[in-house]
Amino acid sequence: MVWRFYGYASESEYREAVRNPLQKVDTQDQEWISALLDRLTLNGESASYRRHCIKRDGEEAWINVVMGRIINSNGVEVIQAVFTDITEQMRLEQAQEQMDMIQAVLGGIGAVSLFVAAIGIANTMMMSIYERTREIGVLKVLGCALGDIRSMFLIEAGFIGLMGGAAGLLLSYGVSSLINKFLGSGLMGMGGGGGDISRIPIWLSAAAVGFAIVIGMLAGLFPALRAMRLSPLAAIRNE
C-alpha cells in the first residue's frame, strides 16, 4: 500500500494529507512525470520509472512505479499505479558506485606508483652498469657470451622487482588486517552478518609478485642491452 510506504496510519489519512499524487514527487521530477502520465493511453502499454521520495518521517526512499490507464470497476477511467520499494537496492547500487570510484582512484595511484618504480629500477640498473663497466669488459675479454651478460642484469632487475613486490604484499596484508580489525566488525554488524570485508586471495598475491618481477625485468631490459653493446677495450680502460 502506498500510504503505508509513506508512513501513514491509514489510506484515509494519506488521502487527506496528499491531495495530489504529484505532491510527493520531487519538484525537479514533476514535469517529466506529468508528461509521462499524459502519454498513457486507455488499455495501452504501461509505463514505469524510478524516483526518489521523502517519507512522512523525513526518511529518504526510492520507489519503482508501474502505471497504466484502465477502466475501474465503477466504469471510471483511472490511472492505476503499482509501487515497489527499491530503497535497499538503490543504496546497494550507490555503494557499488562509490566502491567503483574508490577502486578507480586507487588504480590510478597504483599505475603512477608502478611507473615511478619502473623508472627507479631502470635508473638503478643504469648506475650499476656505470659502476661495473670494467667488470663487464673483463667478462667480455674472457669470452663470456653476450646473452649471459644480458641475463645477469635481467635477473638482477627481476630480483629488485621481487623484493618490491614482496614488500608491497606484506604492506597490503597489514592494511587488510587493520581494515578487518577496526572496520570489519562494525560494518558486518550493521548488515547482520560476520566475517572479513577485506580479503586477499592467494592467487592474487602470487600474481602481484609475478607482475612485479616482470615489470622489474622490463625496466632492466634497456640497461641490459646497453651492457651487451659496451666495447670490451673501452670498458677495461674505464676508471
- pLDDT score for 1: 61
CA 96 vs CA 17, 99, 191: distances in Å: 36, 5, 15
The confidence score (pLDDT) of residue 3 equals 65
pLDDT at 126: 83
* pLDDT reported for residue 239: 57
How far from chain centre, in Å, is Cα 25? 33
Q: What pLDDT does 192 receive?
A: 46
Question: Could you read off the pLDDT of 168-206 as tens digits, one per residue?
Answer: 889 888 888 887 777 655 555 544 445 566 777 888 888
121, three cell numbers: 629500477
Q: pTM score, two decimals?
A: 0.57
pLDDT tens digits, residue range 29-52? Answer: 778 878 887 888 887 888 888 888
* DSSP sequence for 54-108: E-TTS-EEEEEEEEEEEE-TTS-EEEEEEEEE-HHHHHHHHHHHHHHHHHHHHHH
Q: Which residues of the chain have pLDDT under 70?
A: 1-3, 21, 183-197, 237-239
Looking at residue 196, what is its pLDDT? 65
